[in-house]
């Protein structure tokens, strides 16, 4: 029985890692489609979204099966609790990738505004947060998870800068107001992506150190 239980937990971790890799790829394709003006990549994002939903269901079912057939305690129970939360965060990140690609068509006529905005550096920073959050889970690394938490303020600052920049364009170039608004929405999606990465990092700290970290109220001596 213990050996079977360990295999079930290993399978759960494998599913989460595979889902994490998939949503990383989704975000990469979504950002590149906008920056490079490559519509083909938007179709890849949409195709992979169905696979993300499949992983979402598989992980939920795996967690429920382990709960039903075993009586997990301590770190194993924390893994199941963290897995359910991380699964939810990853599914939402997949949705964000789709949301990003939905701005492709409205922005292609004025890609100069997008390229001149803070979108690309913000996207790169948010993607790095997401990658680090997933890596912290894969490697049981709370130190890396803490770095993710510390990066969130930088994303918020870029979001504010981008809003100010787009507001100026709306005032000075009314004919580009619609495109500027789409970029503001893109920025909001990236800010939410960073929030989901932060939530995953908090779950990793809970999993490894058994400490609940919320709303940046984390102990610098963790």
State the Cα–Cα distance between residues 58 and 170, nearest whole angstrom.
Answer: 45
pLDDT, residue 216, reads 53
CATH number of 2-209: 3.50.50.60, 3.30.420.40, 1.20.58.220, 1.10.260.40? 1.20.58.220
Q: 38: which residues sit within 8 A by CB, 6+ positions away?
A: 32
**Largest Cα span, the chain:** 69
pLDDT, residue 221, reads 46
Report the Cα 62 to chain-centroid distance in Å.
22
pLDDT, residue 215, reads 57
72 phi/psi in degrees, rounded to 5: -65, 145
pLDDT along the chain (222 residues), means of 10: 80 96 96 94 94 96 90 88 96 97 89 90 96 96 96 94 95 93 96 97 94 62 45
pLDDT, residue 15, reads 96
Burial-class residue 112 by CB neighbours within 10 Å (0-12, 13-18, 19+).
Answer: exposed
Tokens of 136: 């912290």
Answer for the pair 94, 18: CB distance below 8 angstroms, yes or no: no
Answer for the pair 120, 35: CB distance below 8 angstroms, yes or no: yes
> From the CB of residue 143, how many other CB atoms can be counted at a distance below 10 Å?
11
Compute the chain's Rg from CA coordinates: 19
């Amino acid at each position: 029985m213990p050996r079977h239980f360990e295999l079930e937990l290993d399978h759960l971790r494998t599913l989460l890692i595979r889902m994490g890799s998939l949503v990383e790829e989704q975000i990469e394709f979504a950002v590149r489609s906008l920056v490079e003006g490559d519509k083909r990549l938007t179709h890849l994002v949409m195709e992979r979204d169905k696979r993300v939903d499949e992983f979402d269901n598989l992980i939920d079912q795996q967690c429920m099966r382990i709960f039903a057939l075993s009586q997990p305690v301590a770190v194993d129970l924390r893994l199941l609790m963290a897995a359910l939360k991380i699964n939810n965060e990853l599914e939402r990140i997949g949705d964000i990738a789709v949301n990003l690609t939905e701005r492709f068509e409205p922005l292609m006529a004025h890609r100069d505004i997008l390229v001149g905005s803070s979108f690309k550096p913000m996207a790169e920073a948010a993607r790095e947060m997401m990658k680090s959050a997933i890596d912290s889970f894969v490697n049981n690394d709370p130190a890396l998870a803490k770095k993710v938490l510390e990066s969130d303020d930088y994303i918020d600052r870029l979001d504010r800068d981008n809003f100010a920049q787009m507001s100026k364009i709306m005032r000075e170039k009314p004919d580009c107001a619609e495109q500027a608004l789409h970029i503001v929405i893109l920025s909001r999606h990236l800010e939410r992506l960073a929030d989901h990465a932060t939530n995953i990092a908090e779950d990793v700290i809970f999993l490894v150190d058994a400490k609940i970290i919320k709303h940046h109220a984390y102990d610098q001596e963790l």
